[in-house]
Amino acid sequence: MTFSEPAGTAGPAVGRVGTGVNSDAPRSPRPTGQTGRLTVPRTSVRRCRFHTPSGRLAGLHAAPAPSLDRGTSVVLVPGLLGSKEDFAFLLPLLAQAGFDAYAYDQRGQYESDGPHDPEAYTVAALAADLDLVLDQVRHPHRVQVLGAGFGGLVAASATGVRDGRVDGLTLLGCPAGLLPEQRLRMRVTAGAVQTLGAVRTVRLMLAHRERPRSGDHPHPALHRVARERLTATRPAHYLGVVRSWAAAEPLAPLGGPAVDLPVLVLHGTRDAVFGADDYARTARQLGAALTAVPRAGHSAQVHRPQAVARALQGFWSRAAGGNACPAVPHPAACPDLTRSATASGLSGPGQPGAARGPAA
């Protein structure tokens, strides 16, 4: 998978002078090997990085044209077995609709730096990283945050989200809390990571997760990335995050008397990780809006990026008082990943459905 690199070497971030986000940053020196080419439509997706005390966080950034810029940044947080590339098809859609869109690898995930101690991967520590990311985007005072899977728990725990500094929160494929049997599975997974090793455990998790339904297979252009991040992500990240999720308390209603935070619970109808009842319960507990994306699996932003973009724009428009967003581009401009590579105009190795999809 290839993304645009800005011209030149050192220098300030493109469009973000003085923010501390470097779009001309090289990739992490950790080995990744050859990657397949991913062609994203029109809007350029560039690499960037965010600075935190635990190291640099690798990111992707899609900036809107100046004439479309709505003055709002969007920060996308990946899940347990994912990475920033899970948003590669969604980022340009959001930019074309006028939003300054970012996705990043959490600490120790894929191309981001991270400690070797599993205890450094608590929900609180990851949420503190997100707070620092929010400080470094182009529009830090007007931000929408989306967390996918475990990334939703991280997003909902960030101080910048809970104190009303952001304009809204979307939980994508993220329940408010784990049921007892789900919590037990997380504890068993943590034990397997210690016994079998992180890579073998994650492969078993993906194989088991994919068996019930076929909706969670990503586009083949993401195949190599899915393989690379499996071994590039630090084992401490896997172990620490699984332990943290197993021990996490259910999310409490966000906001308060002084904070009116709009929340959207978004999920695919073919989700093989959590069920529709989990998401309905989450919406009730949080007083959130609930939207289901037809014909999408757990990673709805991979399978149906246009439908997800439309749902997000509708939610953000309502949260902003009904100001209309620019329309999502026609399917010919940004294809749906449920189609074949040939029909969609995307190029990548393998065949549709050949790769395992990212988990929570």
- Please check whether residue 155 is in contact with residue 149, taking contact to mean a CB–CB distance below 8 angstroms: no
Pick from 79-83, 221-225, 272-276: least confident: 221-225
pLDDT score at 268: 95
Mean local confidence (pLDDT), 17-21: 36
Angle at 63 between CA 293 and CA 40, to 5 degrees: 60
Residue 181, pLDDT > 80, answer no
CA pair distance 270, 272, nearest whole angstrom: 6
CA pair distance 258, 250, nearest whole angstrom: 22
Number of C-beta neighbours around residue 260 at 10 A: 10
Dihedrals φ, ψ of 146, to 5°? -125, 130
- Please check whether residue 189 is in contact with residue 242, taking contact to mean a CB–CB distance below 8 angstroms: yes
Pick from 80-84, 288-292, 353-357: least confident: 353-357
Indicate the average pLDDT of the chain: 76
